Structure 1
Amino acid sequence: MNIRTEIIAVGTELLLGQIANTNAQWISQQLALNGMSVYYHGVVGDNIDRVSEAFNQAQKRSNIVIVTGGLGPTEDDLTREAFQLLTNMEIIEHESSINKIKKYFQQQQMKMTPNNRKQAHVFKQAKILDNHVGMAPGMIVEYEDTKWIFLPGVPREMKAMVSEEVIPYLQQTTGVKQIIQSTMLKFIGIGESVLEDEIHDLIVNQTNPTIAPLALNEGVAIRLTAKADTTEFANQLIEQMKTEILNRVGDYFYGVDEDTLASKVITLLKKHNHSIGAAESLTGGMFTDEMIAIPGASTVCRGGLVCYQPLVKQNVLGVSPETITNYGTVSEQCASEMATKICDMMDADIGISFTGVAGPNEEEGKPIGTVFIGIHDKSGNSIVRQFQLPGDRQEIRRKTILKGYELLFQHLK
């Protein structure tokens, strides 16, 4: 049986961006761990015609539909009513649920308004999912060979039902025993198109695991997804493909899954027993802030100096007046001297510097997006790289930090 699972989230607040649809993400992860693929995610507002339309579409294309939200007590909680339009199923009041709701209000010494009875409304032929942490029960019903699972939108209520009842139910009724395991391989310093070209034959001939190149905020990635009867065998399939990929593009590889460039740089600094200090102009402390946000950074990070104005570069950091006069603050020479001076000032093994033009106007005849990053170490090795980065002011600053970590990663490797 080809199982096509769909997740529909009901709630106008999701469409307005007031809250993120984390429910669908979490449910997809749990289903994947149990070998079930999700084909569609949908979000629909609190409008009975649109909810009904979304349900009609799901009924035609999916054989498992999981709905979150719209089971509350208010007028805009319309999930039950929209499904009733599709199926004509009878809605009744669930006795144990209404008793639970009444008891709650009595214990809280609060008046129970009539609309709270709505939370106990269920379809007559539904399998009821008890809500141990909230009011409205969940439901499972079958309609024309499609399994419909209705869950509250409150994440902790939904998660309890999925873990305790939905996953066991689906395992039993679908017969799916496999698990789906995914790993993200992360790369920096190589474009998505070049990366894909390097492993093109592996992508064309993929079976298990599957291979999907992706763009990230920090470089690019390859997602490997394996299906197997056990987690161990799935991981074995992933490791075999990972080895094949890294044999080709391993020079650009920096981590997996939750790894970040900053965390990898800290790991490498610790490995080499190196410390680092930063002189930051256009980045204004962002590099140091990102580093010290990572636990354990205190063992390698000496600190940072925000030297935004030329006088601070000269009088505090010690950049020579001649360098500033002859070359300007946005220059290779200034970046080089900043990296050397911060290395000496903080008695660090490595100094890194950032200077450039983030906007909104040109500076020293340099266009917006001009960036210089310098690195100096106690062995006397110095490099300066110039970049022309696109974007608005904040994007340029963010991309500058990323380039700094990329250069450090390559330097430390």
Structure 2
Amino acid sequence: MKAEIVAVGTELLLGQIVNTNAQFISKECAAIGVDMYFQTVVGDNEQRLLDTFRLAASRADVVICTGGLGPTQDDLTKDVLAAFVGRELVLHEPSMKTITELFESRGIHMVESNRRQALMIEGSDPLHNETGLAVGNAFTYEGTHFILLPGPPKEMKPMFTKYAVPWLQAVMTDAVPLYSKMLKFAGIGESNLEHQLLDLIEAQTDPTIAPYAKEGEVTIRLTTRAQSQEEGEKRLFPTEQAIRVRLADHLYADQDVPIENVVLQLLEQKQLTLSVAESCSGGLLSDLLTDVPGSSKSFLGGIVCYSNALKHKLLGVPMEILEGDGAPGAVSSETAVLLAENLIATTGSDFGISITGVAGPSPSEGKPVGLVYVGFAQRNAETAVFTLQLSGNRESVKHRAAKSALYQLWKQLKDH
């Protein structure tokens, strides 16, 4: 069953609002066997909206509309779609009762335009709005199923999950749900990962293998169709195992989570602690770690020692190492080692990670943009330094450096 999302709202076209609804609806549709073929965004214009409905009905079995159900004159979705299918708008009395009672309870005069939120297309099934006022609609016209949802995500999501999905499942006859599994990798680039799996990717039929990358991480999505979760897992298993064998040193999770979540989970399980000293990453590694709820159980804290003065004052790196003729400099393995080792002595953590390098856009100390040293200190063990030559702009270098540091810690923890 082919589906299309029609997101209505000029504010979407202007970039004033990000269309997160489409991502949510697409994922939910895939889970019930509805294939999303198209996503369209159209402004609050009657003729363009009419043209959009006409095109969507010609190429999709299911058209899911978001937005344009409110009380103002630019909320045109129901009006235009009713005209397109040749039906009247009728009042949904239960919704009207809810709206009236709400205004009365607040002692506010209800203007006539608020009645528009209780209108629905004649012959459609109402979709209850638990968190707002505009009633949703669902109906079938000449073989195409139309679903109308409000634009605000807090209204759209519960309406879609609790009411639109059961309605869709009732009208579908032969849809087979999609089952997907995410495999997450670090310490390897997308092109290298794809090269190691090229034979599997080229020969894929069922399941399908889809790699895609984020900064410092790569994801593979395995997808199949099955009548049950048990059957889906059985279909995915051989391909998943083949990938696991080839990329065991980089596969850190079999669910869609960032590597910092897994690192903190391992630290907590092993009752170990971490602190970080950051120069070129400017606190980004600390930010990634503290974004994870409960990180304080294992992450003691971080020092952003951006200047040489603070590297010397807070973490005891000698100035003769940082500056002067023949000095290794702030961007060096020597500095990375001292930052990590002195960090452990200062904080008492089990692991200490330091990051120092050149984020750009210009070289520093005569060293190229993207050169980064990651110091990795551990109690009762020799300190290691990892030299990175990263590509990308300033933001990318900082992010990739932080993720690379987490990858090195993950490798140590999984074998600890």
TM-score, scaled to structure 1: 0.90
Aligned residue number for residue 402 of structure 2: 401
Q: Deviations over 1:207-256 (max 9, x none)?
A: 33221111123321110122211122212323332112111222211113
CA displacement, residues 59-106 of structure 1 (integer Å, 9 cap, x when unaligned) = 111011111111111111111232244333233344444444334333
Q: Is the CA contact 1:189–1:252 (under 8 Å) kept in the aligned structure 2?
A: yes
* Structure 1 pair 64–400 and aligned structure 2 pair: CA distance change class (3 A): same
Tell me how far apart the structure 2 counterparts of residues 207 and 368 of structure 1 sit (CA, whole Å).
42
Aligned residue type for 1:388: Q
Tell me the distance in 1 between the aligned counterparts of 2:95 and 2:33. 32
Distance in 1 separating the partners of 2:147 and 2:137: 6
Deviation larger for 59-68 or 121-130: 121-130
CA contact (8 A) 1:314 1:321 kept: yes
Shift in Å at residue 39 of structure 1? Answer: 1.8
Aligned partner of 1:336 in structure 2 is: 337
1:345 aligns with: 346
Decide which of 159, 163, 177 is 1:161's aligned counterpart.
159
Deviation (angstroms), 1:8 = 1.3
Name the residue aligned to 2:185: 187
Aligned CA distance change for structure 1 residues 158 and 301 (closer, same or farther; 3 Å): closer
2:41 aligned to which of 30, 38, 43: 43
Summarize the alignment of residues 42-121 of structure 1 with structure 2, pairs less than 5 Å apart: 42-121=40-119
Segments of 5+ residues of structure 1 without an aligned counterpart are none
* Per-residue CA distance 1:188-208 (angstroms, 9 max, x = gap): 122222322322232233333
The separation in 2 between residues aligned to 1:283 and 1:64, in whole angstroms, is 47
Shift of 1:25: 2.3
* Structure 1 contact 11–44 (Cα < 8 Å) conserved: yes
Deviation per residue, 1:295-327 (Å, 9 max, x gap): 443343333222222222223311123322422
Q: Work out the CA distance in 2 between the residues paired with 1:104 and 1:330.
A: 63
Higher alpha-carbon deviation: 127-136 or 243-252: 127-136
After the TM superposition, which of the residue ranges 143-152 and 106-115 deviates more from structure 2?
A: 106-115
User: Does the 8 Å CA contact 2:259/2:406 hold for their aligned counterparts?
Assistant: yes
**Letter aligned with residue 329 of structure 2:** G
Partners in 2 of 1:292 and 1:227 — Cα distance? Answer: 38
Quick check: 1:137 aligned with 2:135?
A: yes
Q: What is the distance in 2 between the residues matched to 1:159 and 1:279? A: 41
Distance 1:130 1:343, change over 3 A: closer
Seq. identity, %: 39
**Alignment deviations for residues 370-411 of structure 1 (CA, whole Å, 9 cap, x no partner):** 322111223332222333334443333222212211222234
- 5+ residue gaps in structure 2? none
With 225-234 and 338-347 compared, the bigger mean Cα shift is at 338-347
Report the AA paired with residue 377 of structure 1: Q
| Equivalent residues of 1:177, 1:229 under 8 A apart | no
* 1:70 counterpart SS class: coil
Where 1:197 maps in the other structure, the secondary structure is: helix
8 Å contact 1:178–1:230 — kept in the other structure?
A: no
Residue in 2 that maps onto 1:151: 149
Q: Within 5 Å, give how 1:16-31 maps onto structure 2.
A: 16-31=14-29
What is the CA–CA distance in structure 2 between the aligned matches of 1:101 and 1:333, rounded to whole Å? 69
Q: Say if 1:186 and 1:255, in contact at 8 Å, map to a contact too.
A: yes
Give the alignment partner of residue 263 of structure 2, picking from 262, 265, 280: 265
Letter in 2 for 1:400: A
1:292 corresponding residue in structure 2: 290
Q: Does 1:198 align with 2:199?
A: no
Q: Is the 8 A contact 1:283 1:354 kept in 2?
A: yes
RMSD: 2.4
Task: State the partner residue of 2:122.
Answer: 124
- Give the secondary-structure state (helix, strand or coil) at the position aligned to 1:251: coil
Query: Which residue of structure 2 lines up, in the alignment, with residue 276 of structure 1?
Result: 274
User: One-letter code of the match for 2:373?
Assistant: F
Number of residue pairs matched?
Answer: 411
* 1:386 equivalent in structure 2: 387
Aligned-pair distance for 1:144?
1.9
Query: What's the offset of the Cα at 1:332?
Result: 1.8
Counterparts of 1:357 and 1:302, CA distance in 2: 26
Letter in 2 for 1:280: E
TM-fit CA distance, 1:43: 1.8
Deviations 1:242-285 (A, max 9, x none): 11211122221111333221122223334554433322222233
